[in-house]
Amino acid sequence: MKQTSRLKRVFIAFSIGFTLVLIGVVSLQLYRSYKETLTAAQANAANLVKSMAQHAYDTYEDMDLASFGIVERLEWDGFGSGLTSENKARLKTLFKRQVAQMHQVHGFFVYDKDGNWIVTDKDDYPANINNADRIYFIYHKTFSDRAIYIGTPIRSRSTGDMVVPVSRRINNPDKSFAGVFLITVNIEYFNQYYADFLLGPNDSIVQALRSGEVISRLPYRESNITLNLSKGDIYSKHLLKASSGVVRITSVVDGVDRIQGYRALERYPLVVQVGLSRKDVLAPWLTEVVFYVTGLAIMLGVLFALGLLILRYIRLDQEHQVELKAAYDAVEKLAMEDGLTGLANRRHFDVVLPVELNRARRQGYCVGLIMLDVDYFKKFNDSYGHHMGDLCLKAVAQVVKQNVRRAGDLAARYGGEELVILLPNTDDLGTHKIATAILEGIRALGIEHRDSAHGRVTASIGYHVVVPASFDCDPSQELGLADVNLYTAKELGRDRVHPEMPLL
């Protein structure tokens, strides 16, 4: 048997070791592949956002240069008196030519100090339109800043298209406010440019103002134009530390977990973001995981099948020994348990009591001992029969079980109708409470006993608490003190606990 068990242990140890090594090698390979996939995605995001940022920078730089030249011309010619009908016609022709050459431009517009349209490249536009209520107009009227102002997307009053306003202030010779020159940029221009990139279904490209207002977002929905990303991690955390980088964030727009490349433009208050969905990025890696795991499962399956075949022969020898052990355990249980009540028997209790008293002496805690005797039980048996007597004892034992539930507690049938209970680490008050609860539980059974003065089944209970100072006493003597209290309870009229109050 020893040789068989040793062979089994060696085989199992080898199988476990081989399995762990195999799993470790595959796991290491998959982890390295995982890190490489994420590193490549981060580099891809950084390169893409750099390209997008450069495109946005070039686009707005063209608007910057074009608006600078137009405003300088308007101020040189004299914005008020210089804008004759002939000059307006020349400007209109110039605007048309530049709009035709600049595909990103939606239109050129000139407004006077009151917001009235003076010149535009449009042939047809609504009459008597005034743009003095536009945010960009109010900004230039309020501030003397000569740089371009990039505003949040608006709907054009001339065509109804969604556009980005890029405007510049026009001054009178005395530096006072004379009007605004506006270039509107087609949002669709950015959307089409971004759509040419081969991105995954959950990837995103965002162009937004530094304050968080979205200018363009792919995938595009017009409702995105109303979004403000200022509370997202890019704007509230990362841009405060660096003007560009690659981070992992969960989008505040759609909740998608992405590897996010971001870059703030140097001269313009804009931020470009490229977000690569981690789910899409890791999809090829997950396919690799399935491939490796499937192969690993097949190899381990073969190993498992061989193991079962070998262990089957080993198990045949052990089954006989297991049967012998089961039989031995059953005999041991019968020897230590009372068959009627399910409680421990007297032999079990006598073995445990001295061991528990020695442990209590070493650790310095009290031990409660309770002895219980069913009142007039012989008369109950004579009157109702032994079968009913057995049922009565089972019911009393069940009450005891319900009140003695700690792991270290032990309840035993000590003989006939007498039960004994061992309560480690329990003082007088605790022992008295448990004894009283058992007494009341037996009363609550309401089992009829016509030969008892109480008319029902009752019990007499005596208890004794072994304190640390008395641990040198013999266990049988300590149990005898509980037995003395039990007989005192009987002499006092039964159906009671003695002592009646714990010794404090």
Which alpha helices (H) appear in 165-208, and where do they start and end?
187-195
Q: In terms of pLDDT, which residue wins out, 121 or 447?
A: 447
Q: Which domain holds residue 135?
A: 78-188
Cis (ω within 30 of 0) for the bond into 219?
yes
Give 504's pLDDT tier (boundaries 50, 70, 90).
low
Distance of CA 83 to the CA centre of its chain: 67
**Same domain, yes or no: 379 and 487:** yes
Q: What is the pLDDT of residues 179-191, one digit of tens each?
A: 999 999 988 888 8
CATH number of the structural domain spanning residue 152: 3.30.450.20
Lowest mean pLDDT among 26-30, 90-94, 221-225, 467-471: 467-471
Whether the predicted pLDDT of 331 surpasses 50: no
**Same domain, yes or no: 425 and 472:** yes
- Write down the pLDDT at residue 437: 96
Lowest mean pLDDT among 329-333, 391-395, 409-413, 429-433: 329-333
Tell which residue, 149, 155, 151, 131, has the closest CA to residue 68: 149
In a domain, 170, yes or no: yes
Coil/strand/helix, residue 482 = helix
Reading the block at residue 483, the tokens are 């037995």
**Same domain, yes or no: 454 and 348:** yes
What amino acid occupies position 420? Answer: V
What does the H/E/C string look like for 289-352? Answer: HHHHHHHHHHHHHHHHHHHHHHHHHHHHHHHHHHHHHHHHHHHHHHHHECCCCCCEEHHHHHHH
Give 82's pLDDT tier (boundaries 50, 70, 90).
low
Q: State the CB neighbour count (10 A cutoff) for residue 60.
A: 22
**Same domain, yes or no: 288 and 408:** no
Beta bridge partners of 448: 456
Among residues 330, 361, 384, the one where a domain terminates is: 330
Over residues 474-487, the mean pLDDT reads 93
Pairing state between β 105-112 and 177-186: antiparallel
**Same domain, yes or no: 19 and 93:** no
Q: How many domains does the chain have?
A: 3
Over residues 54-82, the mean pLDDT reads 85
Among residues 337, 417, 418, 500, the one annotated as catalytic is 417
Give 327's pLDDT tier (boundaries 50, 70, 90).
very low
Lowest mean pLDDT among 67-81, 286-300, 398-412: 67-81
Coil/strand/helix, residue 76 = helix
**Same domain, yes or no: 384 and 443:** yes
Lowest mean pLDDT among 237-241, 296-300, 389-393: 296-300
**Same domain, yes or no: 299 and 368:** no
- Write down the pLDDT at residue 81: 60
Share in percent of the chain as helix, strand, coil (round to 5): 50, 20, 25
Contact call for residues 233 and 221 (beta carbons, < 8 A):
no
Give 215's pLDDT tier (boundaries 50, 70, 90).
confident
In a domain, 375, yes or no: yes
Whether the predicted pLDDT of 332 surpasses 60: no
In a domain, 42, yes or no: no
Whether the predicted pLDDT of 251 surpasses 80: yes
**Same domain, yes or no: 389 and 488:** yes
- Write down the pLDDT at residue 324: 39
CA distance 199 to 389: 84
- Write down the pLDDT at residue 227: 81
Beta bridge partners of 262: 245, 273
- Write down the pLDDT at residue 314: 65
Over residues 348-363, the mean pLDDT reads 91
Q: Report the mean per-residue pLDDT for the chain.
A: 87
**Same domain, yes or no: 370 and 472:** yes
- Write down the pLDDT at residue 356: 92
In a domain, 263, yes or no: no
Place of tokens 């140097």: 266
Among residues 142, 173, 188, the one where a domain terminates is: 188
Give 1's pLDDT tier (boundaries 50, 70, 90).
low
Which alpha helices (H) appear in 404-462, and where do they start and end?
428-445
| 243 phi, psi to nearest 5 deg | -75, -10
| 360 phi, psi to nearest 5 deg | -65, -40
Dihedral over Cα of 66, 226, 113, 172: its sign: negative
**Same domain, yes or no: 350 and 326:** no
Whether the predicted pLDDT of 387 surpasses 90: yes
Which alpha helices (H) appear in 364-408, and where do they start and end?
377-384, 386-403
In a domain, 262, yes or no: no
Lowest mean pLDDT among 214-223, 238-247, 345-354, 420-429: 214-223
Whether the predicted pLDDT of 330 surpasses 50: no
**Same domain, yes or no: 438 and 468:** yes
Cis (ω within 30 of 0) for the bond into 284?
no
Contact call for residues 3 and 10 (beta carbons, < 8 A):
no
Whether the predicted pLDDT of 321 surpasses 80: no
In a domain, 413, yes or no: yes
In a domain, 209, yes or no: no
Q: In terms of pLDDT, which residue wins out, 343 or 310?
A: 343
Q: What is the pLDDT of residues 416-443, one digit of tens each?
A: 999 999 999 999 999 999 999 999 999 9
**Same domain, yes or no: 358 and 433:** yes
- Listed in sequence order, the residues at least 6 apart from 235 whose beta carbon sits closer than 8 Å to its beta carbon are 210, 212, 229, 271
- Listed in sequence order, the residues at least 6 apart from 352 whose beta carbon sits closer than 8 Å to its beta carbon are 344, 410, 422
In a domain, 261, yes or no: no
CA distances for 42 relative to 256, 265, 315, 411, 444, angstroms: 16, 20, 55, 68, 74
Give 472's pLDDT tier (boundaries 50, 70, 90).
low
Contact call for residues 290 and 282 (beta carbons, < 8 A):
no
Whether the predicted pLDDT of 342 surpasses 60: yes
CA distance 140 to 154: 17
Q: Is 417 an annotated catalytic residue?
A: yes
Of the ranges 14-28, 72-86, 104-118, 329-343, the best mean pLDDT one: 104-118
Over residues 13-42, the mean pLDDT reads 88
| 85 phi, psi to nearest 5 deg | -60, -35
CATH number of the structural domain spanning residue 483: 3.30.70.270
Among residues 275, 301, 330, the one where a domain terminates is: 330
